[in-house]
Amino acid sequence: MDVTASALSPRRPTRQISVGAVKVGGDAPISVQSMTTTKTGNVEGTLQQIYALAGAGADIVRCTCNDQAAAEGLAQIVPRSPVPIVADIHFHVEMALAALEAGVQGLRLNPGNLRKPEEIKLVASEARDRGVPIRIGVNAGSLHPAIYEKFGGATPEALVESARLELAYFEEVGFSDVKISVKASSVATMIAAYRLASETFDHPLHLGVTEAGPLPGGLLKGTAGIATLLAEGIGDTLRYSLTADPVEEANAGRQLLEVLGLRERKGLDLIACPSCGRAEVDVIKIANEAQIALSALDVPIQVAVMGCVVNGPGEARHADLGIAAGKKRGHLFIQGQIIRVVPEDEMVEALVEEAKKIAVEGVEARLAARDRSAEAEAAADRALLLDDRGGDANHDGERIEKIRRRIAD
pLDDT more than 70, % of the chain: 94
Query: Into how many domains does the chain fold?
Result: 2
pLDDT band at 329 (very low <50, low <70, confident <90, very high): confident
Q: Are residues 253 and 284 in the same domain?
A: no
* Assigned domain for 120 exists: yes
**What is the pLDDT averaged over residues 274-291?**
81
Q: What is the pLDDT of residue 278?
A: 63
- What does the pLDDT read at residue 395? 53
Task: Identify the pLDDT of residue 396.
Answer: 60
Please check whether residues 62 and 139 belong to one and the same domain.
Answer: yes
Q: Residue 354 sits in which domain range?
A: 269-393
pLDDT tens digits along 150-175: 999 999 999 999 999 999 999 999 99
Same domain, 254 and 373: no
Identify whether residues 39 and 171 lie together within a single domain: yes
pLDDT band at 392 (very low <50, low <70, confident <90, very high): very low
382 domain residue, yes or no: yes
Tell me, yes or no, whether 235 and 329 share the same domain. no
- Report the distance separating Cα 23 and Cα 177, nearest Å: 12
- Structural contact between residues 63 and 45, judged by C-beta atoms closer than 8 angstroms: no
**CA distances, 165 to each of 18, 172, 181, 317 (Å):** 23, 11, 13, 53
73-100, pLDDT tens digit by residue? 999 999 999 999 999 998 899 999 999 9
Rg (the chain; Cα; Å): 27
- Is there a domain that residue 178 lies in? yes
Asked which of 231, 259, 287 is the last residue of a domain, the reply is 259
- Residue 320 maps to which CATH number? 3.30.413.10
Residues 250 and 286 in one domain: no
- Please state at what angle helix 43-56 crosses helix 68-77, rounded to 10 degrees: 50
d(CA 335, CA 34): 35
**CATH number, domain containing residue 132:** 3.20.20.20
